[in-house]
Structure 1
Amino acid sequence: MTVLLLLLILAAIAAAGFVLGRRRALARAGGNPKLLHSLPAYYGWHAALMSLLPAVLLMILWVIAQPIIVQRAVTDTLPAAMTADPTALELTMADVRRLAAGLDAAVAGGQMTENEASMLRTEFTDVRDKLARVGVALGSAVTHDVLSAAQEYREITAQFALWRMIVVIAVAVLGLIYALAVTKPDLWARNRVERVMLGLLMLASTIAILTTVGIIWSLFSESVNFFRQYPFTEFFFGLTWSPNFRGGSQLGFLPLLWGTLYITLISMVVAVPLGLFAAIYLAEYASKRVRAWVKPLIEVIAGIPTVVFGLFALITVGPFLRDYFAQPLGLGNSGSSVMTAGIVIGILNIPFISSLSDDIINSVPQSLRDGSFGIGATKSETVKQVILPAALPGIMGAVLMAASRAIGETMIVTMGAGAAAKLSLNPFEAMTTMTVKIVGQLTGDTDFAAPETLVAFALGITLFVITLGLNVFALWIVRTYREQYE
């Protein structure tokens, strides 16, 4: 039984628990809800939670522990040569899992019966040909040791799945029985339910914090490995980016930082005026009918995939800038340029600035507008001298959010700006960003012990620090101006 099907069964048991718990509480109160400590629905939720949460927790622990236990059991059946070192063991287990999945797919698709799959290791001498005939393709040679391990893997996994279903459903039923047994009019069901919900909220917060810690740790630990192999000063102050896995790499960070900031600056020059002016028009000048049409049309841009914007930059914007600006001005002859990527990313960010700024401007108290009009200010004077200053903290937050997205954009830069890491002021030259090089260094066959691969983590932690600085700056602005207007 799959995890999804088991979750559906648990959800059905919890739904039944809700109904039974509510009915039992009312029955014990003689049908009079006033005799209950809590509302009847709380008794239902108490029964549902008592049946669902322990079973789900057990299933999560089971799913985490099962692969570890199964791998250890299968490893014991393999020859010592296949498990001599971690790399050999990982490669062998990859073949075992791939072969087991192929056999499962062949059985599920009807190309092979379960009995035939179980007897492969004893009845077929040419295993590869037999597996090929039923559609099981492997990238490496199939040995009888691997086949036996795959069969063992399938058998143990099936046994674990069966026992998981039995134990988890039994825990859910026992939880439901216990909840119904303790359900009585004086049960503080509301307090129990609220404590459980508080625990779930705290768990969600903890998971979010631990996720952030895990991200930072993964970047930091690999960055430390990188700086043990490559000089710190050459990375942060080097002017040349030229990775070479054969040796002699120059991994200067400054060309990538310059390309990132240059493209971000151009995108902000495009997005901030257009987005802010659109927000002011929609919030202060547009009629309800115009606003009802224009705002959704602007927000449609946010739903377009970035790869489509990349194609737009590659096919339309790049050639246009090259033919009508770069070549006539003698500034270049390439369609891939900083200007191309910056303009397209700016268009991408218009809805973020426009929608957020529009909501923020609308949240400015009407009393400020009325007071401005009352002393004789015009509409434009009110917007410039009252509304925009009052909404400035939120607008700055929207701008910095758009800047963070521009810094982290990859697909548009790859297709619109090229991959050249250089220091240049010419906006019509091809350049690249940190995110593009992070993807490039981790794509294909990589050696995670080489500095040419580990440099991606150094770039990642540096990018993290830059965006964190932007957030701290935004928080400082918000707090400063809030003190002024509150």
Structure 2
Amino acid sequence: MPVLWLFLIVLALAAFGFTAGRMRVTTAGGERPHSLPNYYGWNVAMKVMAPALLALVVWLLVQPILVDRQVTAGLGEGAVPEGSTLGLVMSDVRRVADGLDTAVDRGLITSGDADAMSAADSNVRSLLGEAGVALGSDVSPEVLEAAQTYRAMNATGDFWRTAVVLVLAIAGLAWGIAQSHGSFRARNSVETGIRMILLAAASIAILTTIGIVLSLVGNTWHFFQIYPASKFFGSFTWSPSFGGGSELGIWPLLWGTLYISIIALIVAVPIGLFAAVYLSEYAGPRMRAWAKPLLEVLAGIPTIVYGLFALLTVGPLLLTVFGRDGLGWMQAGTAVMTAGLVMGIMLIPFVSSLSDDIINAVPQSLRDGSYGLGATQSETIKQVILPAALPGIVGAVLLAASRAIGETMIVVFGAGAAARLSLNPFDAMTTVTAKIVSQLTGDADFASPEALVAFALGMTLFIITLGLNVFALYIVRKYREQYE
């Protein structure tokens, strides 16, 4: 059964349970029920949805992993041709399995024919072509057999998933309706269930972070087992080659990342801070009412749009001024300066919004006291408001720096792809994030250091941004002023 239908059936059972639980209490005579009727309805609905949907989510996460492991274990050494990898073979297996499913759904063949088909059958390739599957070579017997096993295991898993989810939903429905009597404390049960749901929601961020760290650590450790850490951190050359003989030094990428981020902060911090001071101290209510939302519109623009802006507008404009026809400093539109300027524009609302909130948090009594001593508005801003808000502003700048270090699309379009150590801001460079994308683009062999280096780069970037965030929180908490 499709997942959407299963989900809708569970919702329908929950709606029926809500109505049945509520009606059972309202129509029953005798003593007054402990809770309001709606609580009895929600008690039934929660007992239907919670276990069924939890089982559905867990099944959807676990089944693909188990099926892939079983199919991979069943592939012999001869299934991987020379020059290919196990990952590429499994990609072909999934494509063939999807093609067979599509052919069955369209009525081109029956499910039994799909399971009995052999690689020697001349119709296999044409059938997959009709199903929209493009393969670079003929389907080998090992791949077809693995695809048929893949289909069979998924079909079995889907059947048991449907059965388990429906059994849990029906059992929860029966349990909830049985509890719908006047002496049952339905309100306490519902509130406990809501508390558990909120706890689970709060735990998602923690569990996600742990999962990210574990995945990075595991693959990074695997990378350092096949490529020395001394070369990764000690080399100043980045020259990956999937044919072997790669030099994977991180320093050119790290330098490009920091260089572009510094230029972006040089652009964003003054403009964002000045905008925040104006909006909080000088602008009237009407001006602030439309100027602040317009400024924050920049934060809603996708980074891919900023990348296109860098490629099509800022780069050619800088090339006109600093290129061969101008000062002669710039060879192409893709450069550190191009990406830094556009990234700085992107960070302006980030800095201005945080700084504006922090400046507005400074008590009005400090301003009134400064004015009472004869200070002007500009003197009050420089000598009272900004010093009081400085810890928060520093934290905002450090958080903006973390955002700049993790940016990808602007760098891909605006800075180029050259990994070099240079002080010239008009040279093309690249960053850690851009190289992570390039190393994992396409069907990468995760047994090679050229692909696994992406995880080492990601781990390094994670540690840097985590350190900046922790330092920003430390600064904010240590020097934050407490006002009554």
Deviations 1:313-354 (A, max 9, x none): 122212222221354444333222211111000001111112
**Matched residue, 1:4:** 4
In 1, Cα distance between equivalents of 2:65 and 2:427: 52
Task: Verify the 8 A CA contact 2:88 2:443 in the aligned structure 1.
Answer: no
| TM-aligned CA deviation for residue 171 of structure 1 | 2.2
**Matched residue, 1:479:** 477
Which letter does structure 2 place at the counterpart of 1:481?
A: Y
**Matched residue, 1:220:** 217
Where does the alignment leave 5 or more consecutive residues of structure 2 unmatched?
none
| TM-aligned CA deviation for residue 67 of structure 1 | 4.2
Matches within 5 A, 1:134-283: 134-139=130-135, 140-142=137-139, 147=144, 150=147, 153-154=150-151, 157-158=154-155, 160-283=157-280
Q: Specify which of 373, 379, 384 is matched with residue 381 of structure 1.
A: 379
Q: Specify which of 46, 50, 53 is matched with residue 50 of structure 2.
A: 53
Which letter does structure 1 place at the counterpart of 2:404?
A: A
| TM-aligned CA deviation for residue 158 of structure 1 | 4.0
In 1, Cα distance between equivalents of 2:369 and 2:28: 62
The 1:347/1:472 distance shift into structure 2, 3 A limit, reads same
Deviations 1:216-254 (A, max 9, x none): 222223323333344434332433222334444333322
In 1, Cα distance between equivalents of 2:459 and 2:172: 46
Deviations 1:118-176 (A, max 9, x none): 58739x94223550573343414235675566556545544543443344223212211
Which letter does structure 2 place at the counterpart of 1:255?
A: P
Decide which moves more: 62-71 or 181-190: 62-71
In 1, Cα distance between equivalents of 2:347 and 2:434: 19
Task: Verify the 8 A CA contact 1:127 1:142 in the aligned structure 2.
Answer: no
Task: Verify the 8 A CA contact 2:388 2:481 in the aligned structure 1.
Answer: no
Alignment RMSD: 3.3
In 2, Cα distance between equivalents of 1:485 and 1:76: 64
In 1, Cα distance between equivalents of 2:483 and 2:323: 47
Task: Verify the 8 A CA contact 1:106 1:136 in the aligned structure 2.
Answer: no
Decide which moves more: 187-196 or 59-68: 59-68
**Matched residue, 1:332:** 330
Decide which moves more: 179-188 or 151-160: 151-160
In 2, Cα distance between equivalents of 1:256 and 1:78: 39
Which letter does structure 2 place at the counterpart of 1:217?
A: L
The 1:121/1:429 distance shift into structure 2, 3 A limit, reads closer
The 1:44/1:153 distance shift into structure 2, 3 A limit, reads same
In 1, Cα distance between equivalents of 2:227 and 2:146: 42
**Matched residue, 2:431:** 433
In 2, Cα distance between equivalents of 1:319 and 1:63: 48
Q: Specify which of 99, 104, 108 is matched with residue 102 of structure 1.
A: 99
- Aligned pair count? 480
**Matched residue, 2:392:** 394
Task: Verify the 8 A CA contact 2:13 2:169 in the aligned structure 1.
Answer: yes
Q: Percent identity?
A: 58
In 1, Cα distance between equivalents of 2:366 and 2:453: 52
Decide which moves more: 46-55 or 416-425: 416-425
In 1, Cα distance between equivalents of 2:13 and 2:188: 22
Q: Specify which of 278, 285, 288 is matched with residue 288 of structure 1.
A: 285
1:420 aligns with 2:429: no
| TM-aligned CA deviation for residue 474 of structure 1 | 0.6
Which letter does structure 2 place at the counterpart of 1:337?
A: A
Decide which moves more: 113-122 or 366-375: 113-122
**Matched residue, 1:410:** 408
In 2, Cα distance between equivalents of 1:79 and 1:190: 58
**Matched residue, 2:22:** 22
**Matched residue, 1:459:** 457
**Matched residue, 2:124:** 128
Task: Verify the 8 A CA contact 2:85 2:445 in the aligned structure 1.
Answer: no
The 1:135/1:393 distance shift into structure 2, 3 A limit, reads same
| TM-aligned CA deviation for residue 356 of structure 1 | 2.4
In 1, Cα distance between equivalents of 2:138 and 2:64: 24
Task: Verify the 8 A CA contact 1:120 1:127 in the aligned structure 2.
Answer: no
- Normalising by structure 1, we get a TM-score of 0.86
The 1:3/1:241 distance shift into structure 2, 3 A limit, reads same
Task: Verify the 8 A CA contact 1:14 1:52 in the aligned structure 2.
Answer: yes
Task: Verify the 8 A CA contact 1:396 1:474 in the aligned structure 2.
Answer: yes
In 1, Cα distance between equivalents of 2:204 and 2:483: 36
Q: Specify which of 364, 367, 371 is matched with residue 366 of structure 1.
A: 364
| TM-aligned CA deviation for residue 117 of structure 1 | 4.9
- Normalising by structure 2, we get a TM-score of 0.87
**Matched residue, 2:319:** 322
Deviations 1:170-227 (A, max 9, x none): 3212211211211223322222222222322333343322322222222223323333
Matches within 5 A, 1:343-362: 343-362=341-360
Task: Verify the 8 A CA contact 1:338 1:427 in the aligned structure 2.
Answer: yes
Task: Verify the 8 A CA contact 1:390 1:485 in the aligned structure 2.
Answer: no
| TM-aligned CA deviation for residue 267 of structure 1 | 0.4
Task: Verify the 8 A CA contact 1:10 1:52 in the aligned structure 2.
Answer: yes
In 1, Cα distance between equivalents of 2:158 and 2:169: 16
In 2, Cα distance between equivalents of 1:80 and 1:244: 25
